Chain A
Amino acid sequence: MNEQQPKTAPQKYSFEREPAKRVFAAELRETRIHFKDADDEKSPSYVLLPTGERCNRIFAVGTLTEKRKQGDQNLFYRARVVDPTGTFFVMAGSYQPEAMQQMARIEPPSFVAVVGKPSIYETPDGAFLVSVRCESITVVDKDARDHWVLDTAKATLDRLDLDGQTPDSARARAEYQADPAIFRRMVYDALAQMKI
């Protein structure tokens, strides 16, 4: 079976992998809430997307516009990946050696597909920064990018359509107090750019 199967849970047939949510940069940037389901150190941590779904991992395709190597002993890469709505801040550090090596070989600008885990930082002056800890980053073509925009538009609309009917959706409505129309507009604008 697969290598990642936890040995302590033989009753489970297979390791359940957290799905990678499709989310536009403009929505991820607004994310503020993060939580865990259980106190257990190994239980997954989530962010709550403003459109109303928990998210442990994202999949995003966009343009790598900038990449910088930082740190001396703890080397890491900081990169910007741009989609039709905004920018993902992507990091790859020594805890993700594979992603770091992939990052090292990619030169901006290129279309890239990123799989990673979102995390939220609060800066000392009270601002929030949402970044994506990269698990993998690969070069893809424009077709893959366009495909992702449609995929993400659909996923975002599906989340909005849930309209408070799931616990996560209800919680997001209560916590963020955001007008769903804003995200609908975001989706529309992202799609509108594709027509050209």
Chain B
Amino acid sequence: MDYSDTVERVSQKIVSRGHTVDKSRIEQKLKQLVEEFGVPSAEAERTVTNELFREFGITTEVATGAGDQKEINQFQNGEWVTTEGKVVALSSAPSPAIAQTGIFADKSGAIRFVTWSKANAPLMEKNKCYRLESAVVDEFRGVLNLKIHSGTVIKEIESLENIQPDYTPIDDLSPGVGSVKAKVIQEWDSTHERMLQSGLLGDKSGTIKFVIWRDGDVEKLTPGSVYSIFYALVDEYQGRLSLNLNTATVIPEDEDIEVTSGETSFSGAFVHMAPGSGLIKRCPVEGCNRVLSRQNYCPVHEIQPKFVYDLRIKGWLDDGRNARELLIQRENVEKLTGINLDQAQEIAENNPLGMDEVFLRMRDQVLGKYLSCRGREIEHRILVSECAFEAYDPAVLADLLNRAGGDE
């Protein structure tokens, strides 16, 4: 490994403060840390710099050097920067080691910042502008962050202009911070108590999952409405991106926008209706919505006698080459089976087989029939948004007759 750049950087920091230092000594220390002790090179650089500063009696504040003044979109991992921008969001600190976390933005972009508790730095206020000297850019889970430590100088400055961010097309979002103008195209069942809302946002370019956690002051979005969302956190989990809106400024828009369907179509025979289809009971606890067992047991909230009824069909659609799992929700279940929720409840209550009777009647309506459906594919299962029985198409017959007879 070549240390000459690093050595040069460290030596510059010393020399610029009126001291002289032997470069080979710097290199030796760096080399030892990196090669013998497996310290990452950025960390080794910091260690060596700090060690030399102590040795020369340079105080840390001056020590680290302010770094060049930069705009956010020019930040690179491991560098010390001075930057001016606005605190556009604050979020609750995930750990006692962190005093404050939020989003810092300028006209070029936005970045998540973290202020360590032990930095004893003054807390910043939302919507105020600051000059940060000697903050450190580093990477956490593949995303750049701005770290405010004890050496960082924070100065409040006059308001900056033009820091309204540009919208990013959903398809172009990358982990970090992003702003979009998007429409709420789906609202999903909540899977976690702490979750206020989750669902799908879409624009012309694509769709993305969004999450709002309860601990913030962001309110629920209305399905079908368009919003401008500034400074949401773009998280990545198992290769999929999602938007965390808790840091975001969310502004409802009056206009309607074009949205990609992002849906797949699949046609085939409905070859299996899985248990858990038909009339089901859901946990009534707000935000839970889990399906209860027959004994009204919710895996999280235990026995829930005041359950809420719902309809769904889970099963497999098969075109002879592939079998795809389907999840059909109430509205489409009612359309396909001709049994609505009230009727299903009535059947269940007035029948010795109870809810099984609903399952059987729905199975007889759907199983073995040709269906075509559209929907979003989520974890290899199609969440059906639209479906219908396929009608027999006699036009195909002539083509097939030609094909079958053509070769003789």
Contact = CB atoms under 8 A, between A and B. Distances in A.
A115 B392 contact: no
Given A20-B323, A144-B370, A157 B318 contact: no
Contact of B397 (A135, A137, A191): A191
A39 interface: no
B224 interface: no
Contacts of A1: 379
A19 B319 contact: yes
Q: Which range contains the number of B residues in contact with the other chain?
A: 35 or more
Contacts of A138: 363-364, 367-368
A190 B369 CA distance: 20
A14 B380 contact: yes
A17 B407 CA distance: 34
A21 B320 contact: yes
A20 B320 contact: yes
A133 B363 CA distance: 19
B404 A19 contact: no
A184 B408 contact: yes
A3 B381 CA distance: 13
Interface in B258-292: 269, 271-272, 274-276
Q: Tell me the dominant secondary structure on chain A's binding face.
A: mixed
B1 interface: no
A140 interface: yes
Given A2-B325, A19-B318, A188 B380 contact: no
Contact of B275 (A3, A21, A151): A3
Given A14-B381, A184-B404, A155 B320 contact: yes
B123 interface: no
Contact of A115 (B319, B368, B379, B401): B368
A79 interface: no
Interface in B25-81: none
A172 B348 CA distance: 51
Interface residues of A, number: 44
A175 interface: no
A83 B54 CA distance: 91
Contacts of A17: 272, 316, 318, 323, 325
A154 B275 CA distance: 32
Contact of A188 (B319, B363, B401): B401
A194 interface: yes
Contact of A59 (B271, B322, B325, B401): B271
B142 to A, nearest CB: 22
Interface in B200-238: none
B364 A139 contact: yes
Interface of B: 269, 271-272, 274-276, 314, 316, 318-323, 325, 363-364, 367-370, 379-381, 390-393, 396-397, 400-401, 403-405, 407-408
Q: What are the 10 closest A-B residue pairs judged by CB atoms, nearest first?
A: A113-B368, A14-B380, A17-B323, A188-B404, A138-B368, A187-B404, A138-B367, A146-B392, A143-B392, A147-B392
